[in-house]
């Protein structure tokens, strides 16, 4: 997969900005800072500045490097060029979400009146909608997308499953957005049940399509020995 400044610079700027914000905030904060918020957006956990200011920037940098290297280790690495736009969108979406969460968390540490929980759910909603929009463009590989034994053994199953999953992920995004404004336990439970059902149906559907595909192959292109 070919890398360009157009795809890499936005992600690097976000990560660099996170570390710059950490450096600026470090001398201005006490040793113990808020690190966790409950469903109502209220602080319910504290930690030292290493946890509060460095964990998310380091996580973003680690995910950036990991997603950059995955195509090199993927046996289907040659396919990444066929969905490079979708893959780069996924990478940018993940790093951008971490950047938004980090900025919101630091603002909360400085006692700005920002509902971290709402921002987290809204950010996740946007990411799910983005993922849903590009899911159908992902081509067979071993690391990205819905990778079941059946999608990896049937091109038809891969294509149909990812198109279906794209719509399901957008539905999940809508539910995340609803929870952002309806901070109730029952709504959160309902969202989790629907999310699990969507993921489960994607797996089941991948098998159903595989079962009816006349061109399916055995996993890894092998068949049981006749000896």
Residue 2 burial by Cβ neighbours in a 10 Å radius (0-12, 13-18, 19+): exposed
In this structure, are residues 153 and 219 in contact, taking their beta carbons and an 8 Å threshold?
Answer: yes
Residue 80 burial by Cβ neighbours in a 10 Å radius (0-12, 13-18, 19+): buried
Greater pLDDT, 96 or 76: 96
Q: What is the mean pLDDT of residues 65-87?
A: 92
- Give the pLDDT score at 56: 93
pLDDT tens per residue across span 102-150: 999 898 888 777 888 899 999 999 999 999 999 999 999 999 999 999 9
Say what the pTM is: 0.88
Copy the structure tokens of residue 102.
Answer: 């980090």
Q: Which of 92, 87, 130 is CA-nearest to residue 1?
A: 87
The position carrying tokens 């109730």 is 184
Q: Is the pLDDT of residue 76 over 90?
A: no
Cα separation, 165 vs 167, in Å, equals 5
Copy the structure tokens of residue 112.
Answer: 């700005």
pLDDT tens per residue across span 1-40: 677 888 999 999 999 999 999 999 999 888 887 777 776 6
Q: Is the pLDDT of residue 168 over 60?
A: yes
First to last CA, the chain: 41
pLDDT more than 70, % of the chain: 93
User: Going along 38-181, which residue ranges are E strands?
Assistant: 43-48
């Amino acid at each position: 997969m070919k890398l360009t400044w157009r795809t890499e610079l936005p992600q690097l700027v976000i990560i660099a900005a996170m570390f710059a914000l950490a450096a600026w905030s470090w001398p201005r904060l006490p040793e113990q800072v808020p690190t966790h918020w409950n469903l109502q957006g209220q602080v319910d956990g504290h930690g030292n500045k290493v946890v509060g200011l460095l964990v998310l920037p380091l996580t973003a940098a680690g995910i950036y490097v990991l997603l950059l290297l995955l195509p090199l280790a993927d046996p289907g690495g040659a396919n990444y060029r066929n969905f490079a736009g979708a893959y780069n969108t996924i990478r940018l979406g993940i790093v951008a979400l971490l950047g938004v969460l980090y900025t919101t968390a630091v603002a909360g540490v400085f006692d700005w009146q920002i509902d971290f929980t709402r921002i987290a759910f809204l950010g996740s909603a946007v990411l799910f909608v983005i993922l849903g929009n590009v899911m159908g463009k992902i081509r067979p590989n071993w690391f990205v997308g819905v990778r079941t034994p059946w999608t990896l053994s049937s091109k038809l199953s891969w294509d149909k499953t990812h198109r279906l999953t794209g719509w399901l992920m957008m539905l999940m995004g809508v539910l995340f957005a609803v929870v952002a404004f309806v901070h109730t336990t029952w709504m959160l439970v309902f969202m989790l049940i629907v999310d699990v059902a969507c993921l489960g149906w994607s797996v089941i559907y991948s098998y159903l399509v595989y079962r009816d595909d006349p061109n399916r192959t055995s996993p890894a292109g092998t068949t049981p020995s006749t000896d």
